[in-house]
Structures are given as C-alpha cells and as structure tokens.
Amino acid sequence: MSETTYTVTGMTCDHCADAITKEISDLPGVQQVKVDVPSGRVTVTSESPLATEDVRAAVVEAGEYELVSS
C-alpha cells in the first residue's frame, strides 16, 4: 500500500475536486483519492507507488489544473 500527497493548483470548488478524483481514480492500482480544495492537497492511496508523470497527466486531463509537487 502506498500513500502520496500531491499539490495541485487551479482547484476552486467541489466540481474541481470531483474532476480530479475521477481522473486519478482511473489510474491502475488507485484505491482512494482525497481532495482538499482549500489547501490544494490531493492524497492518493494505491497498491504501489504511482509514476508522477501518470498522476500529472490525469490532473491535466481533468481540466485547467497543474500538479506542482508531490
């Protein structure tokens, strides 16, 4: 089990959180995604560590958001 917290910019509302959650949840091995909009933190629990580039691609696919750190 792996848990990683990322910082994502551009999120302003629950719709943003839902879009991010959906896209990251589609990555193989992801079990849970927790999004805190005010802080910009996205915590991902997965079977094994995820490639940062895969998470970044999912964040971009969700909309006008940017993964700035992990």
Q: What are the pLDDT tens digits along the chain (70 aa)? A: 999 999 999 999 999 999 999 999 999 999 999 999 999 999 999 999 999 999 999 999 999 999 997 6
Q: Is this model's pTM higher than 0.85 or not?
A: yes
**For residue 27, what pLDDT is reported?**
98
All structural domains of the chain, each given as residue ranges with its CATH number in brackets, are 2-69 (3.30.70.100)
Residue written as token pair 């006008």: 64
37 to 7, 20, 29, 57: CA distances (angstroms): 10, 10, 23, 19
Give the tokens for residue 56: 């970044």
